[in-house]
Amino acid sequence: GLKNVKTLDEKLVEREELGPREGKRMYIAYGRHSGLSGRVLKITGDKVMIELTNSGKVVIVRTSEVAEMGVATKAKVGEKRDRSDKGKSSTTPATKPWLLSNIRVRIVSKSFKGGQYYLMKGVIVDVLTPTDCLLQTEGAAMANTIE
């Protein structure tokens, strides 16, 4: 087969520089505007001013929050995530609330309530807040409040 070789009369194509640059289209991978893309307007220190493609709104994000276009950095559902601390924010929840009434659940955390409910199954009776619910465990006469 052919090798990746250029002949003398062929010109080399220069690759585009990596990182944010004025006028370059970038993908916002982390932070409040993650998942959006836009054009870099201005770079000041560790901040980048980006005009969003879909709305035309101008936002300012950190240079560490942007990535090259076409580089998928977010984990899709079912894929393993990168466990490093870069790009994580303590204010955003890890997952969206999934609690629903009348669903069957299993508690798989040994640290929850000192392991009292470890591997027990139950039915969610009522959802109080997105993270709190009333759970009726198997063999229990009354529902327990779970946080």
Q: Are 8 and 53 in contact (CB under 8 A)?
A: no
| pTM score above 0.75 | no
For the stretch 3-47, pLDDT in tens is: 677 777 777 777 767 778 888 888 888 888 888 889 999 999 899
Contact 99, 131 (CB under 8 A): yes
pLDDT tens per residue across span 103-116: 898 888 888 778 88
Return the pLDDT at 13.
Answer: 72
